Amino acid sequence: MNGQYADEGVVGAKRVTVEDYEYAAITAGRTRIIIGVLAFGLALFLLMARLAEVSVLRAAPEPYSSRAHDLATRADILDRNDEILATTLDTYLLYGVPGKIWDPVETTQALTAALPDLDPADIERRLTSDKSKVYLKRNLTPRERQAVFSLGMPGLEFEIEPRRIYPRGHLASHVLGWTNVDLVGAAGAERAFEQQLSADNSGPKRLSVDMRIQHALDDELRAGMKRFQAKAVAGIVMDVTTGEILAMSSKPDFDPNRFGTALPNDRLNRATMSTYELGSVFKPLTTAMALEAGIDPNEQMPVHKPIVIRKKLIKDDHPLKAPAGMFDILAKSSNRGVTLYATRVGEARQRDFLRKLGLFDRVPIELAESAAPQLPREWQDLTTATVSYGHGLSVTPLALAAASAPLFNGGWYIAPTLEYQSPGKARPRRRVMTEQTASTMTDMMRYVVTDGTGRNAAVRGYGVMGKTGTAEKPGGKAGYQENNLVTSFISAFPYEDPKYLILITYDEPQAAEGTWGYATAGWNAAPTAGAVISRMVSILGLRREDTTQVASRAGGRP
C-alpha cells in the first residue's frame, strides 16, 4: 500500500500524481512565455510607434504656432500684370536644447559638416550654454532641414519660420523694400502697404509697376552707370494720365532677400530720397510759368546781352548771338532767357507756381522714403534767377517728374502712386496750368529733341519730347564743383497723345568713348532715356507716329 503511493502526494482528499506536477510546470511555462511575448510585442509596438512619430510625423512640417500662422498670412505683392514680386514661404529655424545634447563636440562636428556656413566655435559655445534653448540657424531650406534631421542627434529641434521671398532679386528692390524678421514691413511697398498686406484674409496687393518696363529701365541704367562710370543713377517711368509709377530704379541697389548684408548706400532710393540741384530740366517749368503770366512766346528776348544780378554774371554755355523767342530759348537751353522770364514774372508768382507744382513739399507718394526739398534760406532777386534754370533749389527726381507731368497731360497735377489704378478710375487732381500752356509746352519740348540739346534721345517713328539738364554739384571754393556734375533728361512720348514720362538722372558721370570728352546730359541721360523708350514701344506694342506731321507741328515755331 505504501509502495503504491510512494511517488504520490495527497492534497486534501485528492491525490496528486507525477503527471499532475509535469502538467502544472508546462502550463506555468507557457504562461510565462505568453507574458514575455506580450511584453516584447508591447515594447516593439511602442518602439515602432516612436519611430513612426519621429520619421513620419515629425518629418512633416510641424503645426503652426499662432505666431507662425499670423506671419504666413502676409499677402503677396504683384505687379500690374499679376507677376509675383513678393511672397511668403515656409522655412525652418534650427535650435538646440543644451540639456538634451549628449556630446556637444560631436554634435558640433556633425552639424557643421551638414551646414558648412556655421561657425564651429560659435555653435559649440551655444550648445554648452546653460540656456534651455539656443538658436543655431534661421531660414533653413527643406533640404538643409533634412540634412540636419538625418544626423539623428538628440537636442536639435526645428520650428516653422515663414520667410518673405523676393523671386526677382535686385529688380525693383527699392520699390518693394523688405520686412523685418517678424515679417513686418520695414521699407518700400512692404512698409507703405503694411496694413493691407498683414490683414486677415487679404488678397494679393497689386502695384502699378510693370516688371517688363522695370527690367528695361533697370538694364539701361546699369549699362549706363558702367559706361559713364557714374557714382549713382536713378530712373522713373510714370503714366502722366494716372500718376502711376510704371518703373522706378536706383543704382547701386541691393537684393531684398539679403537686405541685412546691403550697404546703406545701396539701400538708398535716389529717385525719392536724394535731393539734387537738377539744372536745366527746370527750364520747361519756368517757361510754362511765363506762358501762364501772359508772356508772348513770339517775343524776342535780348539773350545776346549780358545779365548781371548782384555782381553775378548769368552765363550761357552756348550763347545766342541774337534775340530769341521761347522755342529757341528752351531748345538752346539759355540761362539768360529763362532768367528774363523769371524776373519779369517776379519772386512771388514764381514761388506760388512752384508751390502749386508740389516742389516745396515732400512728394505725396505712399513710400515713407520721400525726402523734403531743400529750399533757399532767402529768396532774393538772384534766387529768382538761379532757380529759373535749376540752381539754388534741390528736389528729388520724383518731385521733378511729378511737377513736369502737367506739361504733358493738359495741365493737371496728379500725385504719383505705386498702387495699380483700375481702368476708368479717376484719381484726385488739380489744375496747375491751362490746357493751352500745356499744349504749347509739348510743342516746345518736341522741338528740343528735333532741333535742340535732346537730339540723342530721338527714337525713329515716335515723337519724343524732352529737356536736358546739367548742373554742377554744390561745394568747392567757388560754391560749385565744376567737374562733379548731375545730369538729367526729362522726357515724354508719344507726342500725338502724351502718356509716358521718363526721367533719367546721373550722379557724377564721366566722359566716355563716343561723347567727345563731354559728360553733359545730352551725351548720357538723353541717350539712356531714348534707349528705354525704344524698348518700351516694343514691350507695349505702340504704333509708330507720322513723324513728318510731328516735325511739321513742332518745327512750325513762332
Q: Coil, helix or strand for 268?
A: coil
What tens digit of pLDDT does each residue of 290-334 get?
999 999 999 999 999 999 999 999 999 889 999 999 999 999 999
Catalytic pick among 280, 388, 394, 404: 280
**pLDDT for res 43:** 67
β-sheet bridge partners, residue 233 = 251, 506
| Mean local confidence (pLDDT), 528-554 | 84
What is the DSSP code string of 211-274?
HHHHHHHHHHHHHHHHHTT-SEEEEEEEETTT-BEEEEEEES---GGGGGGS-HHHH--TTTS-
Record the cell numbers describing residue 81, joined without a space.
500684370
Under the banding of pLDDT at 50, 70 and 90, the label for residue 479 is confident
Quote the pLDDT of residue 475: 81
Residue bearing cell 499744349: 439
**C-beta separation of 167 from 84 below 8 A:** yes
Instruction: Please give the C-alpha separations between residue 361 and each of 115, 230, 287, 358, 459, in angstroms, as whole numbers.
Output: 51, 28, 21, 6, 34
**Looking at residue 481, what is its pLDDT?**
86
The pLDDT of residue 17: 62
Instruction: Give tens-digit pLDDT for 432-472.
Output: 999 999 999 999 999 999 999 999 999 999 999 999 999 99
Task: Return the pLDDT at 549.
Answer: 63
CA dist 157 and 339 (Å) reads 72
The answer to whether residue 531 sits within a structural domain is: yes
Same domain? 455 vs 378? yes
Domain containing residue 102: CATH number: 3.90.1310.10
**264 to 260, 270, 394: CA distances (angstroms):** 10, 12, 22
Partners of residue 494 on adjacent β-strands:
none
Number of domains into which the chain is organized = 3
Confidence check: pLDDT of 10 > 70: no
For residue 555, what pLDDT is reported? 54
Would you say residue 76 has pLDDT above 90? yes
Other C-beta atoms within 10 Å of 104: how many? Answer: 18
Q: pLDDT band for 11, please (50, 70, 90 cuts).
A: very low
Q: Parallel, antiparallel, or unpaired: how do β-strands 14-16 and 9-11 relate?
A: antiparallel
My answer on whether 249 and 297 are in the same domain is yes
Co-location of 484 and 532 in the same domain: yes
Q: H or E stretch including 503?
A: strand 500-507
Q: Is position 199 within any domain?
A: no
What average pLDDT does the segment 150-158 reach?
92
DSSP state of 521: G
Q: Residue 491 catalytic?
A: no
Grid cell, residue 374, equals 531743400
pLDDT of amino acid 367: 97
Q: Are residues 42 and 162 in the same domain?
A: no
For residue 110, pLDDT over 80 is answered with yes
How many percent of the chain have pLDDT more than 90? 76
Given 123, 156, 172, the domain boundary residue is 172
Residue 191 lies in a domain: no
Q: Does residue 100 lie within any of the structural domains?
A: yes
What is the rounded average pLDDT of the residues 99-106?
91
Please indicate, yes or no, if residue 203 is contained in any of the structural domains: no
pLDDT of 69 > 80? The answer is: no
Nearest alpha carbon to residue 160 among 130, 140, 186: 140
What's the pLDDT score for residue 462?
A: 92
Coil, strand or helix at 555:
helix
Q: What is the maximal distance between C-alpha atoms in the chain?
A: 161
Looking at the fold, whether 222 and 309 belong to one and the same domain comes out as: yes
Q: For 122-141, what is the mean pLDDT?
A: 91
pLDDT at 59 over 70: no
Please give the average per-residue pLDDT across 345-368, as a whole number: 97
The answer to whether 396 touches 273, Cβ cutoff 8 Å, is yes
Banded model confidence at residue 55, pLDDT cuts 50, 70, 90: very low
Tell whether the model's pLDDT for residue 71 goes beyond 90.
no
pLDDT at 472: 93
Least confident of 30-39, 259-268, 492-501: 30-39
39-43, 53-57, 265-269, 401-405: least confidently modelled range: 53-57
d(CA 414, CA 319): 36
pLDDT value at residue 18: 54
Do residue 492 and residue 386 come from a single domain? yes
Q: Are 148 and 115 in contact (CB under 8 A)?
A: yes
pLDDT at 468: 97
Residues 287 and 339 in one domain: yes
Within this chain, do residues 374 and 284 fall inside the same structural domain, yes or no? yes
Cell of 486: 548731375
Would residue 190 count as lying in a domain?
no
42 plus 92 within the same structural domain:
no
State how far the Cα of 123 lies from the Cα of 113, in Å rounded to an integer: 12
For the chain, the average pLDDT equals 89
Q: Does residue 327 lie in a domain region? A: yes
- Region 94-122 average pLDDT: 93
pLDDT of residue 544: 87
Q: How far is CA 490 from the centre of its chain?
A: 21
Domain of 15?
9-57
In this structure, are residues 172 and 166 in contact, taking their beta carbons and an 8 Å threshold? no
463 domain-assigned:
yes
Residue 138: the pLDDT is: 86
Domain identity same for 13 and 92: no
Q: What is the pLDDT of residues 464-474, one digit of tens each?
A: 999 999 999 98
| Long-range contact pairs involving 540-548 (C-beta distance under 8 Å, separation at least 24) | 542/462, 542/494, 544/461, 544/462, 545/461, 545/462, 545/463, 545/494, 545/495, 545/496, 547/460, 547/461, 547/462, 547/463
Same domain as 44, residue 79: no
Q: Residue 514 maps to which CATH number?
A: 3.40.710.10
- In a 13 Å sphere around the CA of 429, the CA atoms on its Cβ side amount to 21
Mean of pLDDT values over 100-125: 93
pLDDT tens-digit readout, 362-400: 999 999 999 999 999 999 999 999 999 999 999 999 999
229 versus 11: which is more confidently predicted?
229
- The pLDDT value recorded for residue 13 is 47
Say if residue 248's pLDDT is above 70.
yes
Q: Are residues 157 and 241 in the same domain?
A: no
Instruction: Provide the 8-state DSSP code for 324.
Output: B
**Distance, CA of 522 to CA of 514 (rounded, Å):** 12
